[in-house]
Structures are given as structure tokens and as C-alpha cells.
Structure 1
Amino acid sequence: MTTGIYDDPWAYELACSFRDVAAEVDVLLGWCDRHGTSRPGGVLELAAGPAEHAREFARRGIAATALDLHPAMCEYAAERAGREGVALEVVQDDMTTFDLGRRFDLVVTMLDSTSHLMDLDAFVAHLDRAAAHLSGRGLYVVEMSHPRDRLGDEPTTSTGWTVERGGTRATVRWGEPSDRLDPVTQISADHVTVTITEGAGPARIIQDVVPYRFWSATELDAAVRLSGALEPVARYGDFGDVALTDPGAWRMITIFRRARGGGRPGQGAGAQPGIG
């Protein structure tokens, strides 16, 4: 038995392989055409994990950088990019304090990675850092879970699924019925179990407990106002033209650009505390 889903990037990538990354990148580029710069000259993926989106941008000839806090994820992303023959810069850093010294036409945070920001100070610091790395017409795209997944009686996504790739099967449980959201902190300790079988071999089981911070749409808006460094451009309920209020919406995706007038006084590199 192995513990630590984020210490096993290959298993994490397999567990999330139900996502159509190429199609999602198509939509992200379409949003660039619609809301900001046309084809981005440079893309930064934050809390990138295996950096699937950054690698897809790189495959399309777009300069891509992937940033993540976990050493194993960074090593895996760099190794996969090298094996695929794509140019990818990988940076190990904190999404609340990073300072790369340059700006990007597109910054993205995918797969609800903002749930790793456990309090409002961390979220505001993150928004400040993202804004500081945007070019003049650049966009910041944040994908979060749909609020009804935690607040509604009928969640839009399942906590259990099965994926298969190349003869390897992963059965995933990301959250159990007993995992409750703390009504004060809005943090849940999500129990994660990934069971991997390859052919007729024995199953490999990865178990972990992952802290998850739920952010509502109004809290996101409040964090944006406190930061003052970004302004919303659009909000979607899926990778497409689905409204957040549509019954078929299953994500909360917000597109930002740099605010006119630029953010709070004193905002600068490394000015906010990091997260572990």
C-alpha cells in the first residue's frame, strides 16, 4: 500500500485522465481570441501538477511554463515533457509567493487547484501574484468546482469514477460520504483511494487524506475585490458557452484581466506569506 496521491504523479495523471485536455486547450485559446490577446505568446500554468495543460500548449508551439509546489510533480512534468519532445519550463514554487520576473499572455489554474488555498489571505496573495505576471492584454483563467457540488442537494460531479488507459485501470474514490465540510472553516478532509490494476497483476492501492477548501462564487468575488489587482471578464459553467446558472453547468470558470489602476498599494514580489 502506498500513501500520498501527490507523491505519485503518474497515478494522479491516470486518475484525472477522464479530462479531454486537448479540447480544453482549444477552448482556452478561443477565450483568448474572444476576451484578450489572440494567440498567447507565453502561458503559465499554476499548481500544474503533471502539467498536462502546459504540455499541450507546448505541443502547439506556445512557450509554456508549469509551476507547482511538489517536487515529485515537477520532476514528473519535466520528464514527461522531455519524453514527448516538447519544450516546457518547470518551476517549483508556491502559488502565493512566486516571482518569475516576467509576464504572460495567459495564466491558468485548472482542476480546482485553488482549493489548496486554505484562507482568504492566501487567496488574495495568490490573486496578487497571478496579476503581477499578466501582460497588458493577458488573461487569468481559474477553474473551480461548481458551488452546487458542496452546497446543493444534487452534485454535478461524482466522487467515484473509473478510467482505463493502455490496459491499466484506475478506480478512484475522491471523497467519501463521511467527509463533511466544516461549516466554520469550509475545509473538508477528503479521503482519497485510487486502486490501480495492470493486466492480471495485483492491485496497487494509494490512499490519502487531502484537505479541501471550498470557495463560493461570492467569496471569490470578495477575494478579487480585496486584491484589487484583477477584474472579471467572463464566467462560465463549463469549457464552452455554458452559463454558471445553467442546469448543465459542472464547473465554475472565471476569466480575469489586470485591473485598470493596478491593485493595492504596497503589492510586490514576496510581500505575502506562502503556504506549505
Structure 2
Amino acid sequence: MTVLMDGKKLAQKYRLSLKKDAELIKQHGVVPTLAVLMIGEDPASQVYFKSKQKLAAEIGIATIDTVMPVDSSQQAVIRQIKQYNEAANIHGILVELPLPPQLDEKAVMEAIAPEKDVDGFHPYNIGRLFMDDAGPVPCTPAGIMALLAEYQLDPAGKRVVIIGRSTIVGRPLAAMLLNADATITITHSKTNELERITRNADILVVAAGQPEMITQKYIKPGAIVIDVGINRLGSGKIVGDVAQEDVKQRAGYLTPVPGGVGPMTSVMLMKQTLKLAKRSVEFERR
């Protein structure tokens, strides 16, 4: 039978642990603080914005929340980020995506100080990750690695196929798995014979943004299937990129949607905030 990898349960386990970590940091006179910047009032971004506020408060992380007008200029946004960079009491900086069209996402993300880049998207931190010298790392791939570890699924020596080459999931996850001694193939919309490639995967990660595109014909019997997709159908139902009921007939392990990778992303963000705050405590001790 397919084992469903319960990200919700693991996220709760992390929340309890992170609360203790936050208290230990506060005992050194440091309040872990995350600055969250949102440009405009995109409904989906607002939902994530509020959920992060709630989770941070539960764990014991302070947030400094700024909502700028949707027509904010590039200069104004970068000026705000630089203020966060210079604030000693701020340990992590998060810019909610997507950004309005007049803003250059790459320039905005590069304006964040690498040592406060809680999302792990700064080119400096991505470069360190590929050199196996990781600082802050992207949170969704970190959540996937945590799920694999929880279920004692060691990637070493495994053949991994990743569908999707985004800088948020596919590329950084490939680096993490490579650092963990897996053999990696990245596929994408231009890949030929996708089905043939995925059927050789011991671990298949699907981050394609296509509702239920992966059925059991793409799956090697007993494979570990990680579904990163979150898609809302016209009926309102939320599904992943994997046809879950079909794939359950063949996969050994599967992350459900919802309740798989999604809950892990937010707790990894909070874990990384605490890690950056802890570094400030260690710096003060020197």
C-alpha cells in the first residue's frame, strides 16, 4: 500500500520544536524578527501574508509587516528593503511574490542582504547551495528534504527525476539532492519522452503547475512521489500535479495535496528565521 507522507503532522512536530528554539534565543536578549513586505493587495498573497503572521506569532517570532501601494516604484521598494537590511533587530526579510508588473523581481530580490535572505533566493545563496556550502536555502525544497528524512528515505544512490526547473523549487532542490548523493535528472516543458524518463525514477518530484498531469503510467512501481503542485479547479477543489487516486495504485510513498509539501514550506521559513537570529546571538558572543 502507498504510504501518504503527512506534511501536516510533521509541520506540527516542527512548530513545537521551533517554539523551544525561539525561547532559547530570547533568553540571550534577542527577539527573532521577520520583516515581511507586500506590494499591493493581491488576494492570494494576502492569504499567505496572514498565515505567516499567525504561524510566526505561534512560534514566538516577531514580524514587521509592511504593505506598500501597488503602484510603488522600484526605487521606493528597494529603499524599504535597504532599511530592513540596516536594521539590527531584523534577522530575516521576506518579499511576497508575485510583484506588480512595473517591478523587476530579480533586482528586488538581489537588494535583500544575503545574510537576511530568509527565502534563500538571492543569487549569492543559490551559488553557495550549488557549491555545497549552504547558507539560507529555498523553503519548499528544504521542506521536501525534511519529509524524506522523517520517513527515513535516504536519497543517496537514488535516481531522482524532477519535473520543473523553476528557481523556487526545481533547481535548488536538484542541488540539495545532488549534495545528498542522489543522481538527478531535471525535466521541463521541452523534454521529449517524459514518460520514459519518469518511469526510471526512484524519486519523482512534480512541480509542473499542471493539475493532475501525472498518472500511474509515469510512475515506477514503488517509487517515492513528491507532489509540489497546488491547483484550484473550477469546482473549488484543490489538487496537485499528480492524479493522487490513480498514482496510489503504484507509488510506494506519496505526498498528498493538500497536507503534504505545503505545510512544510511555512515551517521551514520560520526555522530559517530562527537560524538567522541565532547567528546574531553567536556574533554578539564573539
TM-score (ref. length: structure 1): 0.36
More helix by share: 2
Larger Rg: 2
TM-score (ref. length: structure 2): 0.35
